[in-house]
Amino acid sequence: MTTENASTESKLNETEKKRALSGLTLAELTDFVSELGLPKFRAKQIHSWIYAKWAKSFDEMTDLGQELRAKLNEVATIQFLKLAHLEVSRDGTRKYLFELPDGQLIESVLIAFEDRDSLSACLSSQVGCAVGCTFCATGYLGFKRNLTHQEIVDQVMSIQRESGQRVANIVYMGQGEPLLNTDTVISSIKTLMNSVGIGARHITVSTSGIVPGINDLAAANLPITLALSLHAPDRATREEIVPITSKYPIHKVMEAMHDYVNTTRRRVTIEYVLLEGVNDSEEQARMLAELVKDLHCNINLIPFNPTMNKEGQILYQRPDIRTQKRFRDISGRTGKTVTIRLERGTDIDAACGQLHNKFLAAKN
């Protein structure tokens, strides 16, 4: 581990040198209180205050004595991620730009839907991204580093603290490729389940098709949902818009997806961003239907949310609604459930990386 990574992993407050406790597991909190010479049951109390009651300070922890609270204030903090910027959509979507302890920036999103009471949070797993999908604004940032387990969990806690609302669903679809940070993503899922109280069946991990990561996630055998960002059924088109296809060809990715289903007995999701004139033809819809006909899956079509490259150019357009519906009908001809994703937050730079890029451009 490099010095920089070790510094990030410890997540000390750089100005006060206090240990940040939000995002830690019960086992990590137990180790922490043991280092202070405290009985282990104190860890459970602190754990409950952080994750169940969203305590803002140790002073709120009324079942801890005044002397103990003072001691904790000297050596630790439960401060969550620093909010660098917040945008709120007309539809209630909240887009967060968080600053990490080392100054790096990540995005998270809180999404509300009219047809359901539960809220969903979209989390980042890396600072930037190395995959470089041509339609994704995060790709223009490049890859900086992986997030730590604590930084991933802290996104949820910080969102709940700021919004005052409980998150019930998690999607790892923010900045970064989750399965290029697989071990950390898996550990964060376990903390979200065991500490934050989010059910495994309400957690989705999205991947561009990292075959080793898919295999590792299958081996973990967590009852979550795996989503494949496919975006094209043929190799030539997919290599153009998802460059990592040259390393992990479609047939290898589909083999890994079938193995995942066979191992976990869980239905997977096929994510497909519709780009006008690129991947939205009737022939490509038929190819998609053929490609996934034997896979236990649903198909989620995503109308492109326009993003700009570094030169300020919009490289793609979204197809009109008639084309979207035609693609939906054809790709579902083998009996798969095919939906067109409801748009949320389009008025606030809600696509991955948009707010980050905009914020950096303003600073420069």
CATH of domain 3-77: 1.10.150.530
CATH fold of 82-363, please? TIM Barrel (3.20.20)
- pLDDT for res 92: 86
pLDDT of 48: 97
Is the pLDDT score of 4 beyond 70?
A: no
Is the pLDDT at 11 greater than 70? The verdict is: no
For the cut 50, the answer to whether the pLDDT of residue 357 exceeds it is no
Report the pLDDT value the prediction gives residue 138, as an integer from 0 to 100.
75
**Lowest-pLDDT range of 57-66, 79-88, 353-362:** 353-362
- Residue pLDDT, tens place only, 64-106: 999 999 999 999 999 889 999 999 988 889 999 999 989 999 9
Classified as helix, coil or strand, 338 is strand
**Using one digit for the tens of pLDDT, what is the confidence trace for 227-277?**
999 999 999 999 999 999 999 999 999 999 999 999 999 999 999 999 999
| Mean pLDDT score, 115-131 | 89
- 107 annotated active-site: yes
Regarding beta strands 76-77 and 19-20, do their DSSP bridges make them parallel or antiparallel, or are they unpaired?
Answer: parallel
- In DSSP terms, which residues pair with 128 in a beta bridge? 143
How does residue 315 score in pLDDT terms, banded at 50, 70 and 90? Answer: confident
Q: Examine the pLDDT at 12 and tell me if it is beyond 50.
A: no
Query: What are the extents of the domains in the chain?
Result: 3-77, 82-363
Provide the pLDDT for residue 80. Answer: 83
Contact 172, 206 (CB under 8 A): yes
- Give the active site residue among 122, 133, 297, 352: 352
Tokens of 168: 């019930």
- 107, 151, 177, 271: which is the annotated catalytic residue? 107
Q: List CB contacts of 118: < 8 A, sequence separation 6 or more.
A: 168, 169, 202
Q: Using 50, 70 and 90 to split pLDDT, how confident is the model at 328?
A: very high
Tell me the mean pLDDT in the region 321-347.
Answer: 88
What is the amino acid identity at position 227?
A: A
What is the per-residue pLDDT for 305?
Answer: 81
Q: How confident is the model at residue 343 (pLDDT cuts 50, 70, 90)?
A: low
Per the listing, tokens 């300070």 go with 57
**Structure-model confidence comparison of residues 7 and 169, the more confident one:** 169
Total residue count of the chain as it appears in this document: 364
- Cα of 70 vs its chain's centroid, Å: 36
- Quote the pLDDT of residue 310: 60
Least confident of 9-18, 249-258, 264-273, 353-362: 353-362
Mapped onto helix, strand or coil, the DSSP state of residue 145 is: strand
| pLDDT for 362 beyond 50 | no
> Could you confirm whether 352 is annotated as catalytic?
yes
DSSP 60-77: G-TTS-HHHHHHHHHHEE
Question: Which tens digit of pLDDT belongs to each residue from 191-241?
Answer: 999 999 999 999 999 999 999 999 999 999 999 999 999 999 999 999 999
Distance separating alpha carbons of residues 121 and 108, to the nearest angstrom: 7
pLDDT tens for each residue of 171-201 = 999 999 999 999 999 999 999 999 999 999 9
Q: What integer pLDDT is reported at residue 342 of this predicted model?
A: 75
Mean pLDDT score across all residues of the chain: 89
Q: How far apart (Å, rounded) are the C-alpha atoms in residues 206 and 229?
A: 7
